[in-house]
Amino acid sequence: MPKIIKNLPELIVRSAKYEFEEHGYQKVDMLKISKRAGIAVGTIYNYYPNKARLFLDTVKLSWNEFENNLDQLKSDNPREKLKTTIKAYYHFGKQKKGLWEDIIQAKLEDDKKTLYIRNVKGLKRIVDLIIQVLHSNNCLDYDREFVKRTAINIIMTIDGLLREKPDEEEENYNYLYNLIDRHLDYIVKKY
């Protein structure tokens, strides 16, 4: 008699999430996920037709958890909220390095659009926070494209620091905060 596992789809996604966050899409296969879940590979295919579909569901889950945590951030100071958000992005990238690389680089050929959308949503959040900081400084006339480029710069800098200086967390935070302050000061002075 086959064993009955409660919440099997959730078990599969959670097991896959762990593997993808740790190792990234290319280094994970369905066998590795099935071993983590303690089920047969064929059982996974009863729920997911391929690794790409399972990966996209885990990206959605992980990203939604991350965004929910960001939504909990409370601060009356827009600049501090922006810095806390940048720190959260850095922490996400460090803790979930395999997934971070896949999202940032949109490596998955089967559905780059979904990963791109996640990337754009993250970028939009940072753009919106920068705009809040500008408004709090009575800077209402600014180049939105420059603000977007600033947000891209921040995300790519986080990615570069995670790759090149992964063990220098405190120095990386300080560098990011300094970068943010310089960009914001430049925008406020220019506009």
pLDDT band at 152 (very low <50, low <70, confident <90, very high): confident
pLDDT band at 107 (very low <50, low <70, confident <90, very high): low
Rounded to whole angstroms, what are the CA distances from 58 to 19, 77, 120, 145, 157? 10, 33, 18, 32, 25
Least confident of 2-11, 26-35, 89-98, 158-167: 2-11
Per residue in 108-120, pLDDT (tens digit) is: 454 555 555 556 6
Could you state, in order of their start, the residue ranges of all structural domains in the chain?
A: 1-55, 73-190
Is the CB of residue 16 less than 8 Å from the CB of residue 59?
Answer: no
Radius of gyration of the chain (CA): 19
Q: Thinking of the domain 1-55, which architecture would CATH place it in?
A: Orthogonal Bundle (1.10)
Tokens of 94: 């460090």
Mark residue 113 as left, alpha or beta (left: phi above 0; alpha: psi -120 to 50; beta: remaining): alpha
Burial (CB < 10 A; 0-12, 13-18, 19+), residue 100, is buried
Of 111, 115, 131, nearest to 53 (Cα)?
111
